[in-house]
Structure 1
Amino acid sequence: MNKFNSTDHPHKRLNPLTNDWVLVSPHRSKRPWQGQVEKAVAAERPQYDPTCYLCAGNERVGGHRNPDYKGTFVFTNDFSALLTDTPDGGVDEGSLFQAKSESGICKVICFSEDHSLTIPEMEVKDIRKVVDVWGEQFAELSQKEQINYVQIFENKGAIMGCSNPHPHGQIWSSSSVPVEPAKESETQKAYFEKHGTTLLGDYLNAELAKEERLVVQNEHFVALVPYWAVWPFETMIISRRPVQNVLELTDEEKDGLADIYKQLTVKYDNLFETSFAYSAGLHQAPTDGKDYPEWHLHMHFYPPLLRSATVKKFMVGYEMLATPQRDITAEQAAQRLRDLSDVHYKKANQ
């Protein structure tokens, strides 16, 4: 009888951060990136778009006008999913019908006044300004009594629901801890209480020893494909030093976060020579005033592209009804990303 081999045989992998499983079927498509690679033909965007509601000086819906900003610009979302004045209350009709009011604050962060840019095309010094804004907003929002979690994220690309190509991200802060961070709180606490070290600290050390799922790294951060990755080229950035949130980062570590953010997204763009779509976000400790020594700052990247600029992974059928599934292994994805050039394909082709 053949001996089990994770590069050849179907198997499940556990995500220790959520206690969820993913089905891996490497025998279905061991090298999905070989063969024809389609390139998306995208029109070059101008540095300023008079019809863009995020560009400097332009009017937004509702009559608000953006200042003539340079660099970053933050404002409260004109179409916030959470509101500060939501009254307390809900529905409690036994275990089958329950609802609770949820309040919060939603903000938009413009990364640059230059409409044509994306994170991988920005200079590290300018990305550092984005990291600084993350810290400033986290500090401001976490001091508000009704805010117990601050979710910083970026949707890039129309296929990820991004309604405007201007470089920007969002912050949704809420009165309760959302589902995914709540799962991670439980698992990290249980691990810390058992081992006295952070789950992601030990995981990172193990990955650094193995090296097979690493993508890029610097002195302060490591980007890798998680062992339990669901999306084809899913990655995670982990701080080498365990910190609970962005406020605990030193100046050098903030530089490191900006640097690896660019390094990783350049790899993404180079994969299929297209502006690579993804949803990405920081996971940090809750902001309810308690200490969370088990929490370890990290950033998730969930990109949908699978074989080319136009072929994406869909979560359908078995994945919606049973368990998430992937064909390409985490190790193969990491190798593919790692082998790409560090120079953005646009610059390389100039």
Structure 2
Amino acid sequence: MTKQYEFTHRRKNLLNGEWVLVSPHRNNRPWSGATETQSQLDLPSYDEKCPLCAGNTRANGESNPDYAYTHVFKNDFGALTETLPEDASVDNDDLFQADLATGEARVICFSPDHSKTLAEMAVNEINHVVDTWQQQYQELSQRYRCVHLFENKGEMMGCSQPHPHGQVWAHNHYSTEIAREEQNQLAYFDKHKRALLDDYATREISEKSRVVFENEAWLVVVPYWAKWPFETLLLTKQNHADFNSLDERSKYLLSEAIHVLTSSYDNVFNCSFPYSMGWHNAPSDIETKEHWRLHAHFYPPLLRSATVKKHMVGYEMLAESQRDLTAETAAKILRDARGTHYKQNTQHLA
């Protein structure tokens, strides 16, 4: 069993090689710093001014269809373009290194209901989102080595549009995080002849202290090396390296896991819990994927309440990540928050 250290120590992230400083005694210190304004998300199911609502016209003049579940369109302000000028070139020497980058950026509307987040959607509604993730990955991975499916939820995470949606960025270069995870998972497999995340899931299930939720196909944990207060890792318990191999049962059970996790987040502080989340698939061009397992990272910023967030500044920016809440304590808080979404609780409604 892993000891639950209640004194200052460091933990290593085996996926990206980074260390995090854990200082559990600091969480008891008085707080007089900045607080955030809590988002008031009493939204209508349809907003005529929203560029993501069904039937509305977007900034580029195109109109959304009257979609029933999900809708995907090319990002009107995408960070990646499919082509570059013919004369495009970059510096590339020992001091100034650059590389050309092309790709595609898309937006995925999760629901036509402007007022719903994943946390408030039914499992079957989330299943349409999972289907769309798979469809997008299957299409784009034929042309690009790296396909990122992600969501920024809430104003605190820089989301400018409350309508439930995520994004897809696809490109041929390896993003920094994917490159690190490829290197570390491959090194672990070469040494142990087993997948790192297979061994990791087995240990987490055995120890239980960091497990938030599991079903027959998926596991949600606060990872041992978590740097954000309520960070979680959602990973397959089966032999899936990417979205290509997920069958209908696996996708439904994934939808269940997402439903439990996101509603638990909201229940912790009775608010629409902000986060950035994203899927890490194996790069599509590697010869063998036996060292990879499909997984998603959830990075929420909240620390003590709906209005107090963790600031990654000072030591975190200049040295290494630091957290005040142990992963084991955070996991217990999330486990205790499982159940009916707080908005559906009769006491809350009263």
1:57 is matched with which residue? 55
- SS of the residue 2:302 aligns to: coil
Pairing 1:258–2:251 present = no
Deviation at 1:87, TM superposition (A): 4.6
2:41–2:272 CA contact under 8 A, matched in 1: no
- For residues 97-136 of structure 1, the aligned pairs below 5 Å read 97-136=96-135
Q: After superposing the two structures, state which structure 1 stretch, 264-273 or 280-289, moved more.
A: 280-289
Aligned partners of 1:113 and 1:32: how far apart in 2?
43
Deviation at 1:321, TM superposition (A): 0.6
2:5 is matched with which residue? 7
- SS of the residue 1:152 aligns to: strand
Task: Supply the AA of the counterpart residue of 1:9.
Answer: F
Q: After superposing the two structures, state which structure 1 stretch, 79-88 or 305-314, moved more.
A: 79-88
1:31–1:328 CA contact under 8 A, matched in 2: no
1:296 is matched with which residue? 293
Task: Supply the AA of the counterpart residue of 1:271.
Answer: V
2:231 is matched with which residue? 234
What is the TM-score of this pair, normalised by structure 1?
Answer: 0.94
Deviation at 1:76, TM superposition (A): 0.6
1:305 is matched with which residue? 302
What is the TM-score of this pair, normalised by structure 2?
Answer: 0.94
**324 and 64 in structure 1: CA distance in 2 versus 1, 3 angstrom threshold:** same
Q: After superposing the two structures, state which structure 1 stretch, 88-97 or 101-110, moved more.
A: 88-97
2:41–2:115 CA contact under 8 A, matched in 1: no
Pairing 1:247–2:240 present = no
Regions of 4+ moved over 4 Å: 30-33
2:141–2:284 CA contact under 8 A, matched in 1: yes
Pairing 1:180–2:152 present = no
Deviation at 1:289, TM superposition (A): 6.0
Q: After superposing the two structures, state which structure 1 stretch, 242-251 or 221-230, moved more.
A: 242-251
Pairing 1:318–2:315 present = yes
Deviation at 1:94, TM superposition (A): 2.1
Aligned partners of 1:41 and 1:184: how far apart in 2?
34
Aligned partners of 2:131 and 2:122: how far apart in 1?
15
Pairing 1:148–2:145 present = yes
2:130–2:255 CA contact under 8 A, matched in 1: yes
- For residues 77-226 of structure 1, the aligned pairs below 5 Å read 77-87=75-85, 90-144=89-143, 147-226=144-223
1:318–1:324 CA contact under 8 A, matched in 2: yes
Aligned partners of 2:197 and 2:330: how far apart in 1?
20
1:39–1:272 CA contact under 8 A, matched in 2: no
2:92–2:98 CA contact under 8 A, matched in 1: no
Please give the per-residue CA displacement for 1:170-218, whole angstroms capped at 9, x wherever unaligned: 0000111100011000001111111111100000100111000001111
Task: Supply the AA of the counterpart residue of 1:46.
Answer: P
Pairing 1:334–2:331 present = yes
Deviation at 1:101, TM superposition (A): 0.7
Deviation at 1:32, TM superposition (A): 9.3
Gaps of 5+ in 2: none
Aligned partners of 1:278 and 1:43: how far apart in 2?
15
Gaps of 5+ in 1: none
Aligned partners of 1:39 and 1:6: how far apart in 2?
34
- SS of the residue 2:98 aligns to: strand
2:72–2:109 CA contact under 8 A, matched in 1: yes
Deviation at 1:341, TM superposition (A): 3.6
Deviation at 1:91, TM superposition (A): 2.6
1:14–1:20 CA contact under 8 A, matched in 2: yes
Equivalent position to 1:68, from 58, 66, 69: 66
Aligned partners of 2:85 and 2:339: how far apart in 1?
50
Please give the per-residue CA displacement for 1:248-292, whole angstroms capped at 9, x wherever unaligned: 112111001111001000100000000000000110111226332
1:220–1:253 CA contact under 8 A, matched in 2: yes
